Amino acid sequence: MKCLVYQLGQIEYSECLQLQRDLQQQRIDGTIPDVLLLLEHPPTLTLGKTGRMENILVPASRLQQEGICLVSSDRGGDATYHGPGQLVAYPILSLKNRGQDVRQYVRNLEETAIRTLKDFGISAGRDKAHPGVWIDREEIAAIGVSVKNWVTMHGLALNVAPDMVHYAFINPCGFTDRKAASMADILGREIPMETVVSTFIEHFSDVFETPVTFGSIPPGPYVRDRAKNNLMI
Protein backbone atom coordinates (compact mmCIF):
# COMPACT_ATOMS: atom_id res chain seq x y z
CA MET A 1 0.00 0.00 0.00
CA LYS A 2 1.57 3.28 -1.04
CA CYS A 3 0.91 6.62 0.62
CA LEU A 4 0.95 9.98 -1.14
CA VAL A 5 2.54 12.82 0.85
CA TYR A 6 1.16 16.32 0.27
CA GLN A 7 3.17 19.18 1.81
CA LEU A 8 0.77 22.10 2.00
CA GLY A 9 2.76 24.81 3.77
CA GLN A 10 0.52 27.02 5.90
CA ILE A 11 -3.22 26.61 5.44
CA GLU A 12 -6.30 27.83 7.33
CA TYR A 13 -7.81 25.21 9.61
CA SER A 14 -11.31 25.41 8.11
CA GLU A 15 -10.01 25.04 4.55
CA CYS A 16 -7.87 22.06 5.51
CA LEU A 17 -10.83 20.50 7.34
CA GLN A 18 -12.87 20.56 4.14
CA LEU A 19 -9.92 19.20 2.19
CA GLN A 20 -9.60 16.32 4.65
CA ARG A 21 -13.28 15.52 4.33
CA ASP A 22 -13.04 15.49 0.55
CA LEU A 23 -9.98 13.24 0.57
CA GLN A 24 -11.52 10.97 3.19
CA GLN A 25 -14.57 10.42 1.00
CA GLN A 26 -12.36 9.75 -2.03
CA ARG A 27 -10.40 7.22 0.03
CA ILE A 28 -13.63 5.56 1.16
CA ASP A 29 -14.71 5.39 -2.48
CA GLY A 30 -11.36 3.85 -3.40
CA THR A 31 -10.49 6.51 -5.96
CA ILE A 32 -7.24 7.54 -4.23
CA PRO A 33 -4.61 5.68 -2.18
CA ASP A 34 -3.68 6.58 1.39
CA VAL A 35 -2.63 10.21 1.87
CA LEU A 36 -0.50 12.03 4.42
CA LEU A 37 -1.06 15.79 4.68
CA LEU A 38 1.81 17.73 6.28
CA LEU A 39 1.27 21.40 7.06
CA GLU A 40 1.17 24.27 9.51
CA HIS A 41 -1.86 26.29 10.57
CA PRO A 42 -2.02 30.01 11.33
CA PRO A 43 -2.75 30.63 15.05
CA THR A 44 -5.90 28.64 15.81
CA LEU A 45 -7.61 27.18 18.85
CA THR A 46 -9.78 24.13 18.24
CA LEU A 47 -12.32 22.38 20.42
CA GLY A 48 -12.90 18.69 19.80
CA LYS A 49 -16.33 17.12 19.89
CA THR A 50 -15.98 16.44 23.62
CA GLY A 51 -14.33 19.79 24.33
CA ARG A 52 -15.57 22.30 26.90
CA MET A 53 -15.57 26.05 26.43
CA GLU A 54 -14.26 26.56 29.97
CA ASN A 55 -10.93 25.21 28.70
CA ILE A 56 -10.60 28.38 26.62
CA LEU A 57 -9.21 30.71 29.28
CA VAL A 58 -9.42 34.09 27.56
CA PRO A 59 -12.38 35.99 26.06
CA ALA A 60 -13.06 36.15 22.34
CA SER A 61 -11.86 39.75 22.29
CA ARG A 62 -8.39 38.66 23.44
CA LEU A 63 -8.23 35.95 20.79
CA GLN A 64 -9.21 38.49 18.16
CA GLN A 65 -6.54 40.88 19.45
CA GLU A 66 -3.94 38.13 19.14
CA GLY A 67 -5.16 37.11 15.68
CA ILE A 68 -6.21 33.64 16.85
CA CYS A 69 -9.22 31.85 15.36
CA LEU A 70 -11.48 29.58 17.44
CA VAL A 71 -12.90 26.61 15.55
CA SER A 72 -15.09 23.67 16.54
CA SER A 73 -13.75 20.39 15.22
CA ASP A 74 -15.17 16.89 14.81
CA ARG A 75 -11.98 15.23 16.03
CA GLY A 76 -11.68 13.57 19.40
CA GLY A 77 -10.26 15.46 22.36
CA ASP A 78 -10.63 18.85 23.96
CA ALA A 79 -8.88 22.22 23.50
CA THR A 80 -5.81 22.31 21.26
CA TYR A 81 -3.60 25.07 19.89
CA HIS A 82 -2.23 25.15 16.34
CA GLY A 83 0.17 27.70 14.98
CA PRO A 84 3.26 28.36 12.87
CA GLY A 85 6.20 26.29 14.04
CA GLN A 86 4.03 23.26 14.73
CA LEU A 87 4.16 20.25 12.42
CA VAL A 88 0.63 19.01 11.77
CA ALA A 89 0.16 15.56 10.23
CA TYR A 90 -3.25 14.50 8.94
CA PRO A 91 -3.17 10.93 7.61
CA ILE A 92 -6.09 9.87 5.41
CA LEU A 93 -5.56 6.14 5.82
CA SER A 94 -7.78 3.14 5.29
CA LEU A 95 -7.70 0.84 8.31
CA LYS A 96 -9.52 -1.96 6.50
CA ASN A 97 -6.22 -3.67 5.71
CA ARG A 98 -4.67 -2.57 9.01
CA GLY A 99 -6.75 -4.69 11.35
CA GLN A 100 -9.53 -2.11 11.73
CA ASP A 101 -7.77 -1.21 14.99
CA VAL A 102 -8.10 2.47 15.91
CA ARG A 103 -6.09 2.06 19.12
CA GLN A 104 -3.17 0.58 17.20
CA TYR A 105 -3.46 3.40 14.70
CA VAL A 106 -3.12 5.96 17.50
CA ARG A 107 -0.16 4.05 18.95
CA ASN A 108 1.48 4.14 15.52
CA LEU A 109 1.04 7.91 15.35
CA GLU A 110 2.61 8.19 18.78
CA GLU A 111 5.46 5.90 17.76
CA THR A 112 6.17 8.00 14.67
CA ALA A 113 6.53 11.12 16.81
CA ILE A 114 8.55 9.32 19.49
CA ARG A 115 11.07 8.07 16.91
CA THR A 116 11.24 11.49 15.28
CA LEU A 117 12.00 13.17 18.61
CA LYS A 118 14.63 10.55 19.47
CA ASP A 119 16.54 11.45 16.31
CA PHE A 120 16.93 14.97 17.74
CA GLY A 121 18.06 13.74 21.15
CA ILE A 122 14.68 14.09 22.86
CA SER A 123 13.41 11.18 24.95
CA ALA A 124 9.61 11.10 24.93
CA GLY A 125 6.98 8.48 25.62
CA ARG A 126 3.35 7.62 26.14
CA ASP A 127 0.91 8.15 28.97
CA LYS A 128 -1.24 5.02 29.20
CA ALA A 129 -4.25 7.07 30.28
CA HIS A 130 -3.98 9.85 27.72
CA PRO A 131 -3.21 9.77 23.97
CA GLY A 132 -0.32 11.88 22.77
CA VAL A 133 3.43 12.05 23.26
CA TRP A 134 4.77 13.21 26.60
CA ILE A 135 7.94 14.26 28.37
CA ASP A 136 7.09 13.59 31.98
CA ARG A 137 3.87 15.63 32.39
CA GLU A 138 4.45 17.93 29.44
CA GLU A 139 2.77 17.15 26.12
CA ILE A 140 4.94 17.70 23.05
CA ALA A 141 2.60 16.09 20.50
CA ALA A 142 -1.19 16.11 20.73
CA ILE A 143 -3.34 13.52 19.00
CA GLY A 144 -7.01 13.70 18.03
CA VAL A 145 -8.49 11.51 15.33
CA SER A 146 -11.76 10.81 13.56
CA VAL A 147 -12.66 7.65 11.63
CA LYS A 148 -15.43 7.14 9.07
CA ASN A 149 -15.95 3.80 7.32
CA TRP A 150 -12.51 2.81 8.62
CA VAL A 151 -10.80 5.79 6.95
CA THR A 152 -9.01 8.24 9.22
CA MET A 153 -8.74 12.01 9.29
CA HIS A 154 -7.30 14.60 11.71
CA GLY A 155 -4.18 13.29 13.42
CA LEU A 156 -1.13 14.67 15.23
CA ALA A 157 0.39 18.05 16.04
CA LEU A 158 4.09 18.07 17.01
CA ASN A 159 5.42 21.21 18.69
CA VAL A 160 8.64 22.06 16.89
CA ALA A 161 8.95 25.79 17.66
CA PRO A 162 5.48 27.37 18.00
CA ASP A 163 4.71 30.45 20.07
CA MET A 164 4.28 28.72 23.44
CA VAL A 165 2.76 31.88 24.96
CA HIS A 166 -0.47 31.01 23.18
CA TYR A 167 -0.77 27.82 25.20
CA ALA A 168 -1.54 30.01 28.22
CA PHE A 169 -4.90 30.74 26.56
CA ILE A 170 -6.15 27.16 27.02
CA ASN A 171 -6.06 24.13 29.25
CA PRO A 172 -4.18 21.98 26.71
CA CYS A 173 -6.30 18.91 25.90
CA GLY A 174 -8.44 19.86 28.90
CA PHE A 175 -5.65 19.45 31.48
CA THR A 176 -5.39 21.96 34.30
CA ASP A 177 -2.33 20.32 35.86
CA ARG A 178 -0.18 19.70 32.80
CA LYS A 179 1.67 21.88 30.31
CA ALA A 180 2.77 21.77 26.70
CA ALA A 181 6.39 21.50 25.58
CA SER A 182 8.25 22.19 22.34
CA MET A 183 11.39 20.85 20.73
CA ALA A 184 12.90 24.34 20.70
CA ASP A 185 12.38 24.83 24.44
CA ILE A 186 13.83 21.44 25.31
CA LEU A 187 16.86 21.75 23.04
CA GLY A 188 17.43 25.44 23.63
CA ARG A 189 17.56 26.03 19.89
CA GLU A 190 15.30 25.84 16.87
CA ILE A 191 15.40 22.96 14.42
CA PRO A 192 14.52 23.79 10.79
CA MET A 193 10.99 22.61 10.11
CA GLU A 194 12.01 20.95 6.85
CA THR A 195 14.51 18.79 8.77
CA VAL A 196 11.81 17.64 11.19
CA VAL A 197 9.40 16.99 8.31
CA SER A 198 11.85 14.77 6.42
CA THR A 199 12.59 12.79 9.58
CA PHE A 200 8.89 12.43 10.37
CA ILE A 201 8.14 11.13 6.87
CA GLU A 202 10.89 8.53 7.15
CA HIS A 203 9.55 7.20 10.44
CA PHE A 204 5.94 7.35 9.29
CA SER A 205 6.85 5.11 6.36
CA ASP A 206 8.65 2.67 8.66
CA VAL A 207 6.02 2.55 11.41
CA PHE A 208 3.07 2.21 9.06
CA GLU A 209 5.02 -0.11 6.76
CA THR A 210 4.07 1.85 3.69
CA PRO A 211 6.17 3.32 0.89
CA VAL A 212 5.64 7.04 0.41
CA THR A 213 5.74 9.19 -2.68
CA PHE A 214 5.31 12.94 -2.99
CA GLY A 215 2.33 14.29 -4.86
CA SER A 216 0.04 17.25 -5.31
CA ILE A 217 -3.63 17.62 -4.46
CA PRO A 218 -5.74 15.48 -6.83
CA PRO A 219 -8.02 17.23 -9.34
CA GLY A 220 -10.99 18.75 -7.55
CA PRO A 221 -12.08 21.99 -5.94
CA TYR A 222 -8.61 22.74 -4.54
CA VAL A 223 -5.70 24.21 -6.45
CA ARG A 224 -2.34 24.67 -4.79
CA ASP A 225 -0.80 28.11 -5.27
CA ARG A 226 2.77 27.52 -4.14
CA ALA A 227 3.85 31.07 -4.89
CA LYS A 228 1.32 32.48 -2.43
CA ASN A 229 1.73 29.52 -0.04
CA ASN A 230 -1.97 28.94 0.40
CA LEU A 231 -4.74 26.74 -0.85
CA MET A 232 -7.35 28.28 -3.10
CA ILE A 233 -10.92 27.09 -3.67
The per-residue pLDDT for range 149-189, each reduced to its tens digit, is 999 999 999 999 999 988 888 776 666 677 899 999 999 99
The per-residue pLDDT for range 73-98, each reduced to its tens digit, is 777 777 888 999 999 999 999 999 89
Q: Which of 1-15, 73-87, 135-149, 198-212 has the lowest mean pLDDT?
A: 73-87
What residue type is 106 in one-letter code? V
| Residue 173 appears among annotated catalytic residues | yes
Is the pLDDT confidence value at 226 over 80?
no
What residue type is 83 in one-letter code? G
The per-residue pLDDT for range 5-32, each reduced to its tens digit, is 999 999 999 999 999 999 999 999 999 9
Strands (E), the chain: 3-10, 34-40, 44-47, 69-72, 79-82, 86-92, 125-127, 130-135, 138-148, 151-159, 179-180, 212-214, 223-225, 230-232
pTM for the model:
0.89
What is the average pLDDT score of the chain? 88
The per-residue pLDDT for range 67-77, each reduced to its tens digit, is 888 888 777 77
Check: CB of residue 61 under 8 Å from CB of residue 84.
no
In this prediction, residue 171 carries a pLDDT of 76
Of these residues, 3, 16, 69, 173, which one is catalytic? 173
